[in-house]
Chain A
Amino acid sequence: MSAARTLDWLLLLPSLLLLALLMGLPLAAMLATSLQPNVLLSFTGPALDNYSYLLSRGYYLQVIWRTLRMAGETTLFAIPLGYLAAMLLRNLSGRAGNLAIMGLTFPILAGPLTVVLGWMALLADGGPFLGPLVEAGLISPPRLLGSEAGVVISLVQFVLPFTVLTLYTGLRQIQPQMHEAAQSLGASGTARFLHVTLPLSLPSVLSATIITFSLAASSFISPHYLGGAGQLTLTTLVSQFIMATFNAELAAAAAGLLLLLMLASVVVITAVIGRFVRP
């Protein structure tokens, strides 16, 4: 038995080493960098001055708040939209179900960069979608490019496949006998949903919420191309610090803040939704 345990640890060793060397160590180096003085701020490091600088300026507080707000808005749209889709997809089987799942993995594999190209055209006031509506005088130019709404629309589209696939997996694990039992006890469709499906699916709603929020908060491509300089989020702020103002220390601090905020959000989401999950 102990020989088997040793073998297990040996087999796990390469992946743990990969994680430690290629993620743990770099993140430690990044956090160390974030505590150092730089061209903008002189202090004797290691100290938290870079963090207090970012947290004391209205401009950066806006960036932080925007990051969390956009991720929150994206999650609030994606979870109900995705839940309904997962409920409908659950009933598909065989070829149709297969195609439906493949259709969802497809945008993930095509990559967000190619998808965002499409959004840059579709969200443009003179684009093929909005252009005719504007010309016909049906709507005033919505100016979605460079707006928060534009970024959130594309973020919802970007996260939806992940949201739906997570919820779908969870919903498929609920045994059909549960519904049959509820039905035979005379529960109506609404009652079956409220008292059987919904409570049993809450663990997957929890993981879908965490995945959706994290993906939205860590997204770079959508805010970069569709938000631009007027809609900076923490990820695009990090890239600005590196590529435009060449301040590695503030970039590290902004990245550290993003990690911290994402961790805090996961804790909050788990606490809020976890209260409803029956043990």
Chain B
Amino acid sequence: MKMFGKLAGGLYLVLLYLFVAGPLLFVIATSFNPATSFPARFEGLTLSWYAAILQRPEFLSAAGTSALVAALASTVAVLVAFLAAYALSRRSGGAGGRGAMATLLASPLLVPQVVISLAILQLASAWGVGTGFWGLVAAHAVYVMPFALRLILTGLARFDFAVEEASRSLGGGWLATWREVTLPLLRPSLVAGFTFCFILSFVNLPLSLFLTGPDTATLPIVMFAYIESRIDPMIAAVASLIVLAAGTATILLDRFLHVRLVD
């Protein structure tokens, strides 16, 4: 009976993971299929769809834009999230209600991303300016900040603030203490925070929906426009490359920094 329960449990998990990861696995498989339609029967293996991406400069330049937006937004997010997380974790009391403050700072997660995009567009038009590149960075920064906060708070929960006192009692100023003691010890969660924010920003479509122009199109926006007109395995190849990059980052973080989104 117990054996049966274990088997049923295992089977359930396998089916659930197939359901959750199935669409992704299918996209990856399609990217190697030489058939020109989508979806199509599998006719063999080819790498030609990956080569086809190189013929489309708009995908490459959009990937560059996305990387720049993601890098800037994640840098801002990790910086402010680190300062906030530090204040919330200090033993010296912290400012006001700790839980309430953490909830407030996580609030962008509950605002639909399409709404964030629209709101920034309408603030810019109320001021009579275009949103441009910085509107894009703003939307991405405010959205990814809570993810950085959560990861850094987790890191700080394991941080012993007594080491700071030790450093200061040995004559280290607060700046030296931060540079030599606090930041190195927190590096894993800072790096992880940056990486997760970067990926989440890089793959995000709705945040950019109303904020991109011809010069500032992000990769998901270019994919979005491409899919509106046609779907072929080339777009699956683009998606597979994104999946590959995201997967590699997840594995590297887990291997070398032992950091995950959930503990």
Interface residues of A, Cβ cutoff 8 Å to B? 1, 4-5, 7-9, 11-12, 14-16, 18-19, 22-23, 25-27, 29-30, 32-33, 81, 84-85, 88-89, 98, 100-122, 124, 126-128, 131, 154, 157, 160-161, 165, 168-169, 214, 217-218, 220-221, 225, 235, 238-239, 242-243, 248, 251-252, 255, 258-259, 262, 266
Contact = CB atoms under 8 A, between A and B. Distances in A.
A124 B231 CA distance: 13
7 contacts: A108-B261, A110-B246, A114-B24, A117-B235, A121-B26, A252-B122, A255-B114
A109 B24 contact: no
A120 B224 CA distance: 13
B254 interface: yes
Nearest to A110: B243
Contacts of B261: 101, 105, 108, 165
A26 B25 CA distance: 38
Contacts of B79: 14
A114 B239 contact: yes
B87 A11 contact: yes
B173 interface: no
Given A117-B236, A121-B38, A128-B26, 7 more contacts: A5-B92, A107-B21, A110-B24, A117-B27, A128-B39, A214-B110, A238-B115
B223 A113 contact: yes
Given A4-B92, A26-B120, A33-B122, A18 B206 contact: no
B80 A14 contact: yes
Nearest to A33: B122
Contacts of A160: 16, 19-20
Interface in B10-40: 10, 12-13, 16-17, 19-27, 30, 38-39
Contacts of A266: 110
B114 A239 contact: yes
Contacts of A26: 116, 119-120, 122-123
B231 A120 contact: yes
Contact of A22 (B23, B142, B262): B142
Contacts of A18: 76, 80, 141-142, 145
Nearest to B104: A19
Given A23-B108, A235-B114, A248-B125, A220 B254 contact: no
Given A106-B250, A111-B246, A122 B16 contact: no
A252 B118 contact: yes
Interface of B: 9-10, 12-13, 16-17, 19-27, 30, 38-39, 41-42, 76, 79-81, 83-84, 86-88, 90, 92-95, 101, 104-105, 107-116, 118-123, 125-126, 138-139, 141-142, 145, 149, 196, 199-200, 202-206, 209-210, 220, 223-224, 227, 231, 235-236, 239-240, 242-243, 246-247, 249-251, 254, 260-263
A113 B223 CA distance: 9
Contacts of B9: 88
A153 B136 CA distance: 31
A8 B23 contact: no
A127 B39 contact: yes
Given A85-B12, A128-B39, A12 B260 contact: no
Given A14-B79, A160-B20, A165-B261, A102 B108 contact: no
A102 B263 CA distance: 11
A243 B88 CA distance: 42
A128 B39 CA distance: 7
Contacts of B105: 15-16, 19
Contacts of A169: 262-263
Contacts of A27: 111, 115, 119
A114 B203 contact: yes
B141 A113 contact: no
A165 B262 contact: yes
Contacts of B17: 100, 103
Contacts of B235: 117
B34 to A, nearest CB: 15
Contacts of B231: 117, 120
Nearest to B238: A114
A19 B142 contact: yes
Contacts of A221: 205-206
Contacts of B25: 118
B112 A22 contact: no
Nearest to A88: B9
Contacts of A15: 80-81, 83-84, 105, 145, 149
